[in-house]
């Protein structure tokens, strides 16, 4: 049976973003990988930042490595870890993976090189031994900002056939998505933990999560930071002009809502977010799902109920023609109405794959034109006023 790898990858991504525990996520990915690709087994090593060590996280499969989770720990200078930290390109596939057969062949055929460099031979022998320890046919690294987060270790196929280029590309793409999902799950755990413990650390964690979202698409680099800056300026001016009745910690809720407004994009395929050219109706619907996905991700954080509503509603239109629910005017919470204006302005004044950025004047004209339909008229007026006053 032929596997539709693109469909499997998209399905895996959608499942992953709703899991907030890294250990549960790893188990799901390994189990799914073994079953779908018909592997003998699969395992994972993950970096523990606090201990500065790579820990054997989990293994799955009929002939999986029978080692308890957490039992095997590799130092950053051990052969296999050092190999990927230093990116020994002469042995890597162009996709960045290491195949056991490649390192075995290299050790057999480069005797003249090893006669001159015994340390290299010893180092590569250690790398090969560690692959044997995990019975790994393929090793696929995962990086975050250049730091090795972990390794996906794959056994051979049950059919004993070699991996095709399409399969290797699938595993590389899957590992990339898993890396993002694990990092986001780790950040989410920190977010929940720090919510009660230390408000300042909570905000820093939310900022880190926002950066991870922006990293999915280089066209949106800095988007969340700018939107948050605009939102905070609008919020302060609304309070100053007494245009809203402030309850609770309004500005902090607005900051969190702004930082996390696009969190649902974690569940949208990268190639769709950065597509050059018009979207099909199906693709548009897929992207529009990010509002509901975002609110689902944050739903366990009961303390953030207003922010969760803002995440869900930040693409609703003032006249009720937006998504996902078609609510209008005061049915849309004030945080979402502010984000709607700030988000749209930043999108209009940034380059996109399908068009060049608008000028400030063009963006202001667009905001005015759709004031009262797409946008809250009060928010639009306040935003343009403070921008022209030079307060942004």
pLDDT in tens, the chain (392 residues): 455 655 665 565 556 555 666 677 777 778 878 887 888 888 888 888 888 999 887 677 765 455 555 567 888 989 899 888 887 666 777 778 888 988 899 889 888 888 888 888 888 899 999 998 888 999 998 887 788 888 889 988 888 888 888 888 888 887 877 777 777 777 777 766 666 565 665 666 777 777 777 776 655 668 888 999 999 999 999 999 988 887 778 998 999 999 999 988 877 777 787 777 788 888 889 889 999 988 988 887 777 899 999 999 999 999 999 999 999 999 999 999 999 999 999 999 988 766 788 999 999 999 999 999 999 999 999 999 998 888 77
CATH (domain of 377): 1.10.3210.10
Shared domain for 72 and 165, answered yes or no, is yes
Shared domain for 131 and 274, answered yes or no, is no
Shared domain for 232 and 160, answered yes or no, is no
Distance between CA atoms of residues 50 and 265, nearest Å: 29
Shared domain for 231 and 102, answered yes or no, is no
- Residue 53: which of 71, 67, 66 has the closest Cα? 71
CATH (domain of 64): 3.30.450.40
Strand-pair partners of 39: 157
What pLDDT is recorded for position 236? Answer: 94
Shared domain for 275 and 383, answered yes or no, is yes
In a domain? residue 185: no
285, 321 Cβ separation under 8 angstroms: no
This prediction has a pTM of 0.58
CB atoms within 10 A of CB 242: 8
What pLDDT is recorded for position 315? Answer: 97
In a domain? residue 187: no
Range of the domain at 371: 198-388
255, 232 Cβ separation under 8 angstroms: yes
Looking at the structure of the chain, the number of domains it has is: 2
Shared domain for 92 and 219, answered yes or no, is no
In a domain? residue 191: no
Strand-pair partners of 375: 371
Q: How many angstroms separate the most distant Cα atoms in the chain?
A: 80
Question: Of 179, 209, 225, which residue is a domain's last?
Answer: 179
- Residue 150: which of 83, 17, 55, 59 has the closest Cα? 55
In a domain? residue 205: yes
Shared domain for 117 and 210, answered yes or no, is no
In a domain? residue 262: yes
In a domain? residue 189: no
Strand-pair partners of 151: 45, 141
Shared domain for 34 and 168, answered yes or no, is yes
Shared domain for 159 and 211, answered yes or no, is no
Question: Of 128, 147, 179, which residue is a domain's last?
Answer: 179
Shared domain for 108 and 205, answered yes or no, is no
What pLDDT is recorded for position 64? Answer: 47
Shared domain for 219 and 357, answered yes or no, is yes
Question: Of 179, 211, 233, which residue is a domain's last?
Answer: 179
Distance between CA atoms of residues 86 and 97, nearest Å: 13
Shared domain for 169 and 229, answered yes or no, is no
In a domain? residue 274: yes
In a domain? residue 190: no
């Amino acid at each position: 049976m032929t596997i539709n790898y693109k469909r499997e990858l998209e399905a895996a991504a959608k499942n992953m973003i709703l899991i907030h525990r890294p250990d549960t996520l790893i188990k799901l990915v390994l189990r799914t990988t073994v079953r779908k690709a018909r592997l003998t087994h699969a395992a994972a090593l993950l970096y523990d930042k606090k201990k500065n060590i790579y820990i054997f996280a989990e293994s799955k499969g009929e002939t999986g490595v029978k080692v308890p989770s957490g039992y095997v720990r590799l130092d950053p200078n051990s052969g296999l870890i050092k190999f990927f930290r230093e990116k020994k390109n002469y042995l890597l596939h162009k996709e960045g993976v290491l195949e056991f057969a490649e390192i075995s062949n290299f050790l057999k055929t480069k005797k003249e090189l090893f006669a001159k460099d015994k340390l290299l031979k010893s180092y590569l022998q250690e790398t090969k031994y560690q692959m044997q320890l995990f019975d790994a046919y393929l090793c696929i690294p995962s990086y975050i900002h250049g730091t090795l987060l972990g390794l996906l270790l794959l056994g051979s196929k049950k059919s004993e056939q070699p991996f095709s280029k399409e399969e290797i590309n699938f595993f590389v793409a899957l590992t990339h998505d898993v890396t993002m999902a694990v990092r986001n799950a780790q950040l989410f755990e920190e977010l929940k933990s720090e919510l009660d413990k230390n408000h300042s650390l909570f905000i820093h964690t939310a900022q880190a999560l926002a950066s991870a979202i922006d990293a999915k698409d280089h066209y949106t680099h800095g988007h969340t930071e700018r939107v948050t800056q605009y939102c905070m300026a609008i919020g302060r001016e609304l309070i100053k002009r007494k245009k809203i009745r402030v309850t609770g910690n309004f500005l902090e809720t607005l900051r969190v809502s702004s930082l996390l407004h696009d969190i649902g994009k974690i569940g949208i395929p990268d190639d769709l977010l950065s597509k050059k050219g018009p979207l099909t109706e199906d693709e548009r619907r897929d992207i529009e799902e990010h509002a509901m996905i975002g609110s689902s991700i944050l739903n366990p954080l009961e303390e953030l109920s207003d922010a969760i509503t803002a995440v869900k509603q930040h693409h609703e239109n003032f006249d009720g023609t937006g998504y996902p629910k078609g609510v209008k005017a005061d049915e849309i919470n004030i945080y979402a109405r502010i984000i709607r204006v700030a988000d749209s302005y930043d999108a209009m004044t940034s380059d996109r794959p399908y068009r060049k950025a608008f000028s400030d004047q063009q963006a202001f004209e667009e905001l005015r034109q759709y004031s009262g339909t797409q946008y809250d008229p009060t928010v639009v007026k306040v935003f343009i006023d403070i921008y022209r006053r030079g307060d942004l």
